[in-house]
Amino acid sequence: MSSPPTRMAVVGAGLMGSEIAQVAAAAGCEVVLADVSQKLVDRGLARVREIGDRRVARGRWTAEQAEEVATRVQGTTDLDEAGASGCSVAIEAVTERMEVKRAIFRGLDEVLDEEAMLASNTSGLSITELGRATARPAQVVGLHFFNPASVMRLVEVVRGEDTAEATVERAAMLAETLGKTPVRVRECPGFLVNRILVRALCAAYRAAQASGAPRAVVDVAVVAGGPAPMGPFELGDLIGLDTLEHIRRDLAAAYGDRFDDAGVVGAHVSAGRLGRKSGAGFRAGVDAGETEAGDDGAAAEQFYAAAADEARRCLQEGVVASADDANVAMRLGCGWEHGPLGAEAAAER
């Protein structure tokens, strides 16, 4: 296996950026971690240390190892000054707003060496559009890590319209050297995993709305009836219903009615019930952890049928090259025991 780049820039020291920096440093890479204020940079650096400390406490790392990894991450509020020009790769993980990201890409394009690859951890913004903010669109790619990036093995490598095949391969190899499993995805709204997952969630919410089944019952039925480790209502609370509604709306605008959830998520957001983070949501603050008698096999069936249908569409549209890719992505990105096209993929072999 090839070795990781010797030096990398990570822009945005929030939840994702700090974890990505940690992953890169743990793989032996020198990382420059940038954010807009020293306070935010320090919070990101503290997060890198926290992950190391946890590993030490669990006996997985020695204290020396954790220290070595932490010192490989250098924080800055000025990438140029911190030596971004020596970085062969930059991963952007700032707030999910196109104009903010475009400005970052323009800046990175100016300060990074000509051969450097520019990657975005965006969950759904256009890689093509980000690439066109630079003079090197062929070297711009999506590297979509999953939360928490220090643990989750999947990275969607997203190819924009202008991304060169060599860049896709370079990004996939980078993901591997960071200990991750890359799945190559052609750019489309929602990319692969969020598209399949949110489609399935919408189907379950619609079915539950129609049947009137208690949410806890639906959650139990989905877990019992297939590979997902968590039911759709509990998962919605975990993701955050405002975040979910934002993604769902974008997908509904792109793909239409199959991303209709009968208004279920939006009603909760309007009422300020955002899931676990707000202490109230579908089940959070209501009946989380409880089980109720009943059966809603229909909602579970629709959940898995929708996931399989969306995965098939991705395959037909060339978003992924194989059913196996879709299966691996759902296993490693969502913790499913097997993918939505499991049986079909086996039959194909």
Choice from 30, 35, 234, 237 touching ligand NAD (CB under 6 A): 35
Q: Is the dihedral of CA 174, 176, 180, 182 positive or negative?
A: positive
Would you count residue 16 as binding ligand NAD (CB under 6 A)?
yes
Sole residue written with tokens 């969502």? 334
For the record, the structure tokens of 169 come out as: 């391969």
The interface region with ligand NAD, picked from 13-21, 183-191, 206-214, 215-223 by CB under 6 A, is 13-21
Footprint of ligand NAD on 133-152 (CB under 6 A): 145-147
Provide, rounded to whole angstroms, the least separation between the CB of residue 13 and ligand NAD: 5
Distances (CA, A) of 152 to 24, 135, 140, 320: 14, 32, 23, 20
For the record, the structure tokens of 173 come out as: 């190899």
Closer to ligand NAD at the Cβ: 77 or 211?
Answer: 77
The interface region with ligand NAD, picked from 90-98, 133-141, 273-281, 327-335 by CB under 6 A, is 90-98
Number of H helices, E strands in the chain: 14, 8
Write the DSSP symbol of residue 73: E
Cβ atoms within 10 Å of 97's Cβ, excluding its own: 11
Would you count residue 291 as binding ligand NAD (CB under 6 A)?
no
Confirm whether 246 is a catalytic residue: no
Choice from 9, 40, 89, 192 touching ligand NAD (CB under 6 A): 40
Cβ-contact 260, 252 below 8 angstroms: yes
The interface region with ligand NAD, picked from 116-124, 163-171, 204-212, 220-228 by CB under 6 A, is 116-124
Would you count residue 111 as binding ligand NAD (CB under 6 A)?
no
Residue 234 neighbours by CB under 8 Å, 6+ apart: 219, 282, 283, 288
Compute the 3-state secondary structure of the chain and give helix, strand, coil in percent, each to the nearest 5: 55, 10, 35
Closer to ligand NAD at the Cβ: 65 or 243?
Answer: 243
Would you count residue 62 as binding ligand NAD (CB under 6 A)?
no
Provide, rounded to whole angstroms, the least separation between the CB of residue 292 and ligand NAD: 29
Determine the Cα–Cα distance for residues 135 and 105; give it in Å rounded to an integer: 10
3-state secondary structure of 27: coil
For the record, the structure tokens of 210 come out as: 């129609």
Closer to ligand NAD at the Cβ: 100 or 305?
Answer: 100
Would you count residue 302 as binding ligand NAD (CB under 6 A)?
no
Choice from 5, 12, 182, 340 touching ligand NAD (CB under 6 A): 12
Q: Note the residues at the interface with ligand NAD (CB under 6 A).
A: 11-17, 34-36, 40, 93-96, 100, 104, 121-123, 145-147
Catalytically annotated residues: 144
